[in-house]
Amino acid sequence: MAQAGVPYAAVPRGSSDGRVHFSDEVHESDADVEDNGLFEHRETMEVADNDTLYYGMSLGTRRRMRKGRVFWATVVCLVVVSVVGIFWLYFDGINWMQRSKKRNVILMVSDGFGPASETMARNFVQQVHGLPVGYQSPLDEILVGSSRTRSSDSLVTDSAAGATAFSCRMKSYNGAIGVDPERMPCGTVLEAAKLQRNMATGLVVTSRITHATPGAFSAHVTHRDMEDLIAEYQIGNYSLGPMVDLMFGGGRCHFEAGPHVNS
């Protein structure tokens, strides 16, 4: 039996779940289907007319549809923003790499120099020149940090282990030249600069070029006293080839067959 007072007549379907469908036999009201009280419950409605399919749904179903649209719209926006961000970072990173190719890196190593030496020099200059108590030396003004200088096998490091820590970024035993505590070669910063960035590299020292500090940046031997072998590494006589383009220093005798009078 049709129900009066609604735009469409609700006709029992004859099923046990109480669902109904709509026919257009009765049109006594111009009100929209969504506005009448028939849809206050959350049961799913079936509609005979396809044009009224959306309005024949329960309020809960329609709310879920709207939330679903908002959700997927948000997902699409996030994906678009992420893709644009990735492309921007990628090309900006390339530009940074191109700009950074012209940069030079100079690492100065004061072998044996530490906070005690710095303090003595500061106090000496302050006393001799009558400077105020708060005087800061040029090194104080550029100090950005300090490092723990012990080696892997001793509280007191030597030049070899200290330089290996600088060149390979790892602690090793006293006497180690570019090798880890297990005596295996470790990649140096000079090798990375040459192989990964195609940069020109060099070593300039006031000691022998085969000494422990320059050796740890350019060779991989198990002990610092193996200076002849360090020289072989420095001229490129190993698997990676020449990694040092320029070398200034002493120790010529380690590059020749016999002792040299001017070495």
* Residues labelled catalytic: 159
- As a whole number of angstroms, the distance between CA 32 and CA 42 comes to 18
- As a whole number of angstroms, the distance between CA 244 and CA 255 comes to 15
User: How many other CB atoms are found less than 10 A from the CB of residue 217?
Assistant: 24
Q: What separation in angstroms does the CA of 70 have from each of 60, 65, 67, 168?
A: 15, 9, 5, 53
Amino acid at 2: A
Q: What separation in angstroms does the CA of 49 have from each of 15, 26, 41, 45?
A: 20, 14, 21, 12
The structure tokens listed for 240 are 């990676």
User: How many other CB atoms are found less than 10 A from the CB of residue 232?
Assistant: 17
- DSSP strand pairing (246-250 vs 202-208): parallel
User: How many other CB atoms are found less than 10 A from the CB of residue 90?
Assistant: 9
Which letter does DSSP use for residue 133 in this model?
T
Torsion angle (degrees, nearest 10) of CA 220, 223, 224, 227: -70
